[in-house]
């Protein structure tokens, strides 16, 4: 349990560092994180992009923290929804750190 939390926190810090580097270069962190993926994502891709576990992905989807829709029983996530989630997480972390 603690290892999972530790891993998640490390990923959050990594995202903040990447965001800061991209911001200073005038780049866009979203382009780098989501490059090569289609406009509609699946939970497996969210897992890969965010570096989190399967259960965490489904928890975020069920709680609608990442906007999504279902086709049958399959979750579909617009790329824009993931970008909004990442941006909100980065902003929250930056506000907490300040």
Would 68 be classed as within a structural domain?
yes
- The radius of gyration computed from the CA coordinates of the chain, to the nearest angstrom, equals 14
Task: Count structural domains, the chain.
Answer: 1
Q: Where are the alpha helices (DSSP H) in the chain?
A: 2-25, 29-34, 43-50, 54-62, 79-97
Would 58 be classed as within a structural domain?
yes
Please check the confidence at residue 8 and state whether its pLDDT lies above 60: yes
Please check the confidence at residue 69 and state whether its pLDDT lies above 80: yes
Would 98 be classed as within a structural domain?
no
What span, in angstroms and rounded, lies between the C-alpha atoms of 13 and 54?
Answer: 20
Please check the confidence at residue 79 and state whether its pLDDT lies above 70: yes
- Reduce the DSSP state of residue 26 to 3 states and report it: coil
For residue 22, give the DSSP letter: H
* Residue 26 contacts residue 64 (beta carbons within 8 Å): no
| Domain extent for 43 | 2-92
Segment 31-53, tens digit of pLDDT: 777 888 899 999 999 999 999 99
pLDDT in the model for residue 23: 58
Would 55 be classed as within a structural domain?
yes
Query: What pTM value is reported for the model?
Result: 0.68
Please check the confidence at residue 60 and state whether its pLDDT lies above 80: yes
């Amino acid at each position: 349990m603690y290892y999972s939390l530790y891993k998640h926190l490390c990923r959050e810090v990594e995202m903040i560092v990447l965001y800061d580097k991209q911001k200073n270069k005038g780049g866009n962190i979203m382009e780098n994180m989501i490059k090569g993926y289609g406009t509609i994502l699946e939970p497996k891709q969210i897992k890969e992009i965010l570096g989190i576990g399967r259960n965490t992905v489904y928890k975020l989807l069920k709680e609608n923290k990442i906007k999504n829709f279902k086709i049958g029983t399959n979750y579909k996530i617009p790329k824009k929804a993931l970008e909004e989630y990442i941006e909100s997480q980065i902003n929250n972390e930056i506000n907490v750190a300040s």
